[in-house]
């Protein structure tokens, strides 16, 4: 079968973030990735920037270079457009391809706000798409779903999540990511770190039936660092750096967590020294699960350190470790690429099997743009509650 022809948007040697190069490219250029996909085009801010990226990453000279999203959208030789740019550019760079009927893969967040998410998708189901909520297909999430389905801890009564956005210093922001301090841009700790976390929690336990949240800007002024790590200035911050949410869960996929209470807290910066940066407890009537990791990044970076799953069996009072592992082919890829690769694999399986309509088995399913719209709606409500509290 002919490979799925991919256009990468945002692959750049000078990009402020390198997710395209670190998470997407390793799989797409691997032997397994090449058995399903072929990079045929790049879209950057200009044709010359795309040409520079093509040369820098040693891609074939036949890879087309684009600077105009509309011209890319009209290219009949592109099947899948993969967008890895800053969130407030997602809509203008992918909108033309969506309207042209192309398949799209957009990194999370989908857009800068819920209204734009509805506009770019037309608020319709888009099976021919991928959203970068790859935590849903992480080995940790897969293992937790297996445990709940087995009945090992019985019916879920409650769950607590404590997560920290600890990839940066608590009161500093790098110059390249200073836009994280500007809420209107749409990319920040809440919309990225917290949203990824709550999304894979929902994948295991189900959605909120209702919730209440509270947020706080604890550091309204943040120090800015240059490329060498030294402070070069300060900037105002209007993005909450602490969030607490609690609510009752609706009927979940496994029908085991309905009416359970979920409580989650997220704080930007480091956790108490010497303690885990991520703790997730799922309390059942027969037992309890505890997941610990170095941070909330089960969707990406946390795998450089151990991620532990333990079960406390109430009947025996034993606490046992639960083993989990990667697929062998994933072990050949860097950490950031492994779960992204799983999204690509599931999409390719669907594509190569005739793009069947209807329900897809859970072990073959992947998140799509309409799933992202629902998560954007939840975030919109979180910020609506925050604004209401501030203006009360």
Higher pLDDT: 5 or 255? It is 5
* pLDDT > 70? residue 278: yes
Residues 141 and 156 in one domain: yes
The CATH number that applies at residue 91 is 3.40.50.720
- What range does the domain containing 295 cover? 136-321
Residues 353 and 297 in one domain: no
User: What pLDDT, in 10s, does the model give residues 95-147?
Assistant: 999 999 999 999 999 999 999 999 999 999 999 999 999 999 999 999 999 99
In a domain, 188, yes or no: yes
In a domain, 95, yes or no: yes
Residues 33 and 151 in one domain: no
List the strands of the sheet with 156-165, edge to edge. Answer: 208-216, 242-249, 261-268, 156-165, 278-284, 287-293, 308-313, 318-321
Look at the chain and report how many structural domains it folds into: 2
Residues 316 and 336 in one domain: no
Residues 188 and 59 in one domain: no
Task: Scan for tokens 């005739």, then name that residue.
Answer: 354
Give me the half-sphere count of Cα atoms (radius 13 Å) on the Cβ side of residue 221.
Answer: 2
Angle, helices 195-205 vs 139-150, to 10°: value is 30
- The pLDDT assigned to 255 comes to 66
Query: 15-24, 149-158, 170-179, 183-192 — which is least confidently predicted?
Result: 15-24
In a domain, 382, yes or no: no
- Cα 268 versus chain centre, distance: 17
The CATH number that applies at residue 307 is 3.30.360.10
CA–CA separation, 319 vs 236, rounded Å? 46
CA–CA separation, 23 vs 341, rounded Å? 8
Residues 177 and 206 in one domain: yes
Residues 146 and 294 in one domain: yes
Sort residue 151 into left (φ over 0), alpha (ψ -120 to 50) or beta.
Answer: left
Residues 87 and 23 in one domain: yes
List the strands of the sheet with 172-174, edge to edge. Answer: 172-174, 221-225, 231-236
- The pLDDT assigned to 357 comes to 87
In a domain, 33, yes or no: yes
* pLDDT > 70? residue 253: no
In a domain, 88, yes or no: yes
Residues 45 and 105 in one domain: yes
**What is the torsional sign of CA 110, 116, 118, 122?**
negative
- Cα 357 versus chain centre, distance: 25
In a domain, 384, yes or no: no
In a domain, 186, yes or no: yes
Phi, psi angles (nearest 5°) of residue 144: -65, -40
Give me the half-sphere count of Cα atoms (radius 13 Å) on the Cβ side of residue 291.
Answer: 29
* pLDDT > 90? residue 17: no
Residues 316 and 343 in one domain: no
Residues 238 and 225 in one domain: yes
Residues 101 and 10 in one domain: yes
In a domain, 326, yes or no: no
| Residue 358 structure tokens | 């209807």
């Amino acid at each position: 079968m002919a490979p799925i022809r991919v256009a990468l948007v945002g692959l750049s040697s000078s990009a402020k973030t390198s997710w395209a190069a670190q998470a997407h490219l390793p799989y797409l250029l691997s032997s397994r990735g090449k058995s399903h996909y072929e990079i045929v085009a790049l879209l950057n801010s200009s044709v010359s920037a795309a040409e520079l990226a093509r040369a820098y990453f040693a891609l074939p000279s036949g890879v087309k270079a684009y600077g105009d999203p509309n011209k890319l959208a009209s290219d009949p030789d592109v099947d899948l457009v993969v967008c890895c740019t800053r969130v407030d550019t997602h809509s203008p760079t992918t909108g033309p391809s969506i309207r042209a009927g192309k398949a799209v893969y957009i990194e999370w967040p989908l857009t800068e706000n819920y209204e734009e998410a509805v506009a770019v998708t037309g608020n319709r189901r888009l099976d021919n798409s991928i959203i970068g909520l790859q935590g849903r297909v992480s080995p940790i999430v897969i293992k937790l779903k297996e445990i709940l389905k087995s009945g090992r801890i019985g019916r879920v009564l409650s769950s607590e999540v404590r997560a920290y956005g600890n990839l940066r210093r608590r009161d500093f922001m790098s110059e390249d990511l200073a836009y994280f301090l500007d809420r209107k841009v749409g990319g920040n700790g809440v919309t990225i770190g917290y949203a990824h976390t709550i999304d894979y929690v929902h994948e295991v336990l189900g959605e909120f039936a209702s919730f209440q949240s509270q947020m706080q800007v604890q550091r309204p002024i943040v120090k800015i660092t240059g490329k060498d790590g030294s402070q070069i200035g300060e900037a105002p911050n209007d993005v909450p750096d602490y969030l607490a949410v609690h609510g009752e869960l609706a009927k979940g996929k496994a029908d085991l967590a309905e009416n359970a209470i979920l409580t989650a807290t997220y704080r930007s910066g480091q956790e108490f020294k010497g303690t885990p940066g991520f703790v997730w407890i799922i309390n059942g009537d027969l037992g309890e699960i505890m997941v610990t990791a170095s941070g909330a990044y089960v969707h990406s970076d946390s795998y450089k350190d151990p991620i532990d799953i333990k079960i406390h069996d109430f009947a025996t009072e034993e606490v046992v470790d639960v083993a989990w592992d990667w697929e062998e082919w994933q072990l050949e890829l860097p950490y950031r690429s492994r779960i992204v690769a799983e999204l690509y694999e599931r999409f390719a399986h669907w594509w190569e099997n005739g793009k069947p309509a209807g329900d897809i088995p859970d072990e073959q399913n992947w998140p799509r743009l309409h799933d992202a719209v629902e998560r954007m709606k939840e975030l919109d409500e979180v910020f609506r509650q925050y604004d209401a509290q501030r203006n009360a």
